[in-house]
Structure 1
């Protein structure tokens, strides 16, 4: 009986195995199985990605279209998901080729994953919330939103966090799990509200006519306007002025810009037509000292 515990016996055993024809046949079969597994995995991934992108192309042809940003985000997310799943299955199959007990390995990984899941519940919550934010198209990159006390433009959306940049430059990084209520200002058109004050001594009817003529020309001048602005009439009467109200439908989040432009144009037009806005008046009373 040969002693394989000594160095000489161990070397002789290795040499005998290398010289054995069955050993090389077994290695060749295992290598071919691994190559075949990886080749099939790559083919499945390519077919899956092509199918995903074709589905989104068909959705774009339908009358109910989604935003391009959402389609691109979902396509990348599904591409990564199918890649990870297929490669994980392929890796398990490669391990089985080497004679490793895959079932025991998966069972052990399940126990470890369960323990990690209990210790990282907030992380799991953030990831799940991020997936539903993207899948449901609650908001997209570039949208102007308000989340709690934070408001600004969405800079980036990830599976774990969302970045919001306020108009003053601060970037707020919010865990997706903490986003429970969102106000999205970029989905529908905005409404600009402009109040114009006219002095009491001026002809109100003339002022309204002049303003209405100016409003009809504004859609050709400003692309932010969706429709012709409307003069609603007298909104209020103050101590020294009559206030006329104008509303204008604009593209999302363009109401402030449009309101400033309309105020400037109305001021110039009123001046050209000799219509005065109320001027502040100061009344001074003599200080009467008791004799």
Structure 2
């Protein structure tokens, strides 16, 4: 019985950590905790530094759009978090006796092999960086890429998502974006063609239209200035086509074009200026004389 108790006590003592082992565990725990805390503080400090730098740049001569600033902030914050966590893991592994030199060498060799095998991925990432830093377009811009046209929903390092006006979501690899038409960077121009019949008084129509165009910016804040009467654009089969141009804020040309057409139609109707429309003329053949028919 005593031998059994002695064996049990010996096993318990063997399973228990020695004083030196407790010291090592305590020291390792403190090191890991310090590394984690320093990593969290480094990430927070890096994020604050990035936001301050972008705020300073926004006040300087080189202006950065708000949407681009938000995109860059999120991208750089993620990069900082990945780098800090990677360094923290490499710092913690030696505490557990893991050799990190072999991992770094293996990662380097694997990265070279991955670079040769994933050239399209590298091309997409490089193109994504250039799109962001050159401010080619931002989230919320209305753009045309190849045959796709719509509003930018998101910009990543690999792909860009564009939602068309009818709701389709187009996902395009950044490496495939070679030409971009951005409709949201500068003011747009609304061009409207109005038809007037040949019998109408063109000079009277011009004076009435110009008088009305001067008042339109008061009702539409999208107009940068009063629309301009450009004159006769072309001659149609039954009408004279006149053109009106209006400089508007980005992507407001469709709304303003519809508004100009509506109000000009009402103005022409109030001033009895005829707007041409398709007409059909019917010719009725006279009936033959009854007497001639009987003979």
Q: Is the structural similarity TM-score above 0.5? A: yes
User: TM-score, structure 1 length as denominator?
Assistant: 0.87
Q: Structure 1 residues 230-239 or 45-54, which shifts more?
A: 230-239
Question: SS of the counterpart of 2:137?
Answer: coil
Q: How does 1:178-193 map to 2 (within 5 A)?
A: 178-193=176-191
Aligned-pair RMSD on alpha carbons?
2.4
Question: SS of the counterpart of 1:248?
Answer: strand
Q: How far apart, CA to CA, are the structure 2 residues paired with 1:55 and 1:123? A: 30
1:105 corresponding residue in structure 2? 103
2:293 corresponding residue in structure 1? none
Q: Does 1:56 align with 2:54?
A: yes
1:255 paired residue among 230, 253, 256: 253
2:145 paired residue among 136, 144, 147: 147
Q: How far apart, CA to CA, are the structure 2 residues paired with 1:18 and 1:257? A: 78
1:277 paired residue among 250, 263, 275: 275
**Contact 1:219 1:227 (C-alpha < 8 Å) held by counterparts:** yes
2:292 corresponding residue in structure 1? none
Question: SS of the counterpart of 1:106?
Answer: helix
Question: SS of the counterpart of 2:194?
Answer: strand
Q: How far apart, CA to CA, are the structure 2 residues paired with 1:256 and 1:83? A: 43
**Contact 1:17 1:23 (C-alpha < 8 Å) held by counterparts:** no
Q: How far apart, CA to CA, are the structure 1 residues paired with 2:207 and 2:281? A: 33
**Per-residue Cα deviation, 1:21-72 (whole angstroms, up to 9, x for no partner):** 3332233222222222222222222221111111112122234432211111
Q: How far apart, CA to CA, are the structure 1 residues paired with 2:118 and 2:177? A: 18
1:232 corresponding residue in structure 2? 230
Query: CA shift at 1:285, angstroms?
Result: 7.4
CA gap 1:219/1:15 in 2 versus in 1, 3 angstroms: same
Q: How far apart, CA to CA, are the structure 1 residues paired with 2:153 and 2:70? A: 16
Q: How far apart, CA to CA, are the structure 2 residues paired with 1:247 and 1:160? A: 40
1:80 corresponding residue in structure 2? 78
1:138 corresponding residue in structure 2? 136
Aligned residues: 277
Q: How far apart, CA to CA, are the structure 1 residues paired with 2:54 and 2:140? A: 21
CA gap 1:16/1:150 in 2 versus in 1, 3 angstroms: closer
Q: How does 1:84-233 map to 2 (within 5 A)?
A: 84-233=82-231
Q: How does 1:236-247 map to 2 (within 5 A)?
A: 236-247=234-245
Q: How far apart, CA to CA, are the structure 2 residues paired with 1:91 and 1:175? A: 32
Q: How far apart, CA to CA, are the structure 1 residues paired with 2:274 and 2:13? A: 106
User: TM-score, structure 2 length as denominator?
Assistant: 0.85
Query: CA shift at 1:12, angstroms?
Result: 6.8
1:40 corresponding residue in structure 2? 38
Q: How far apart, CA to CA, are the structure 1 residues paired with 2:278 and 2:82? A: 71
**Contact 1:232 1:245 (C-alpha < 8 Å) held by counterparts:** yes
Q: How far apart, CA to CA, are the structure 2 residues paired with 1:66 and 1:83? A: 24
